[in-house]
Amino acid sequence: MLPSQEASKLYHDNYMRNSRAIGVLWAIFTICFAIINVVVFIQPYWIGDSVNTPKPGYFGLFHYCVGNGVANRELTCRGSFTDFSTIPSGAFKAASFFVLLSMVLILGCITCFALFFFCNTATVYKICAWMQLFAAVCLVLACMIFPDGWDSETIRDMCGDKTGKYSLGDCSVRWAYILAIIGILNALILSFLAFVLGNRQNDLLHEELKADNKDFVGTAPSLQSNPVETRANLEGWQPKCIPPSFGPGLPNNSYLARGYKLDENQLRH
């Protein structure tokens, strides 16, 4: 093996070892992001009451629970994603749709992990990267649209008269909203990492092909050189055939090497 081939093989082995480790971490954090997305979609803790709110309660994307007064802590829960008429605001409906779309995209990305066994690795990385990027965009849209529905009558009853679009009044942001923002950052980082891994796989393949071509060109005889040198080089490329032994008393190459012709009588004996 030529030195360039040895260096290329060593570089390839080191890179593959590191890329597998990074790829495993990328897959683990992708699964974590999917869990975050599901929790954000289901849990009704995007905004909630505080000490100064007229009524206790909390709101999610489509499900919410509101009490009858400060003294009465019993909550009445309403809202279902299957029945859009129960969602208190059109902005909440749009935000619910985008979070659901983000969840479908990231679950589809996890399903694409099986393609690593059948398709080109770089192609699968790029498919997952685009899906993660679109999932992040959907979450961004959901987080931006959701506050537009804070002026609905149901939320104003719980949060006070100061409540309006992009203003919560006496209410406060809860952990599910914050988790959605963290999920956006997570998805963007994962998408960037997947693009890097996919492009690096392509670059590595191109480098290997270039190295193989250089080695082949460097060892093959050039037809544009001196005819005498070319003939000498081509002689080295001819296969060396050893003639078989013609009998117990005849060596393999002795007669042929000296240019002797075998007599038919010798061949018979």
The tens place of each residue's pLDDT in the chain, 269 residues long, gives 556 566 666 666 666 677 788 889 999 999 999 999 999 999 999 999 888 888 889 999 999 999 876 566 678 888 888 888 889 889 999 999 999 999 999 999 999 999 888 888 888 999 999 999 999 999 999 999 999 999 999 899 888 888 889 988 889 999 999 999 999 999 999 999 999 988 876 555 555 545 455 544 444 444 444 554 444 454 555 544 444 444 444 444 444 444 444 444 444 44
Indicate whether 224 belongs to any domain. no
Shared domain for 182 and 256, answered yes or no, is no
Asked if residue 254 and residue 182 are part of one domain, the reply reads no
* 244 and 161 together in one domain: no
Q: Collapsing DSSP states into helix, strand and coil, what is residue 206?
A: helix
- Same structural domain for residues 68 and 100? yes
Residues 207 and 244 in one domain: no
Please answer whether residues 89 and 63 qualify as being in contact, where contact means their C-beta atoms are separated by less than 8 angstroms: no
The rounded distance, in Å, linking the Cα atoms of 38 and 254 is 84
CB-CB contact of 104 with 155 (8 Å): no
Give the pTM.
Answer: 0.70
Q: Are 15 and 124 contained in the same domain?
A: yes
Number of domains within the chain: 2
Residue 113: give its domain's CATH number: 1.20.140.150
Residue-number span of the structural domain to which 254 is assigned: 239-269
